[in-house]
Amino acid sequence: MDLDDILGPRPDDPLPALLREDLDRLSVAELHARIAALEGEVARTRAKIEGAVNHRASADALFRR
């Protein structure tokens, strides 16, 4: 069971607001800037996942000895 299942969504989570944001008011340049920022966040998130997986693998290897 995930902690979010117990506690519900965090009130400070920006993702729901981001998904609801009206894109019609943004210019093409602003939309491109938004995409660049989101791609940067995706890269940062993937790096965090990779670090967590590597950390877990290192811990597993250490405790298997």
Inside any domain, residue 38: yes
The CA distance from 44 to 27, in Å, is 26
Inside any domain, residue 51: yes
| Domain that includes residue 42, residue range | 25-65
3-state SS of the chain is CCHHHHHCCCCCCCHHHHHHCCCCCCCHHHHHHHHHHHHHHHHHHHHHHHHHHHHHHHHHHHHHC
For 22, the token pair is: 């009206």
Inside any domain, residue 18: no
Predicted TM-score (pTM) of the model is: 0.67
Inside any domain, residue 43: yes
Tens of pLDDT along 6-51? Answer: 766 778 888 899 999 999 999 999 999 999 999 999 999 999 999 9
Number of domains making up the chain: 1
Question: How does residue 2 score in pLDDT terms, banded at 50, 70 and 90?
Answer: low
Inside any domain, residue 49: yes
Any residues with CB less than 8 A from the CB of 23 and at least 6 apart, and which? 31
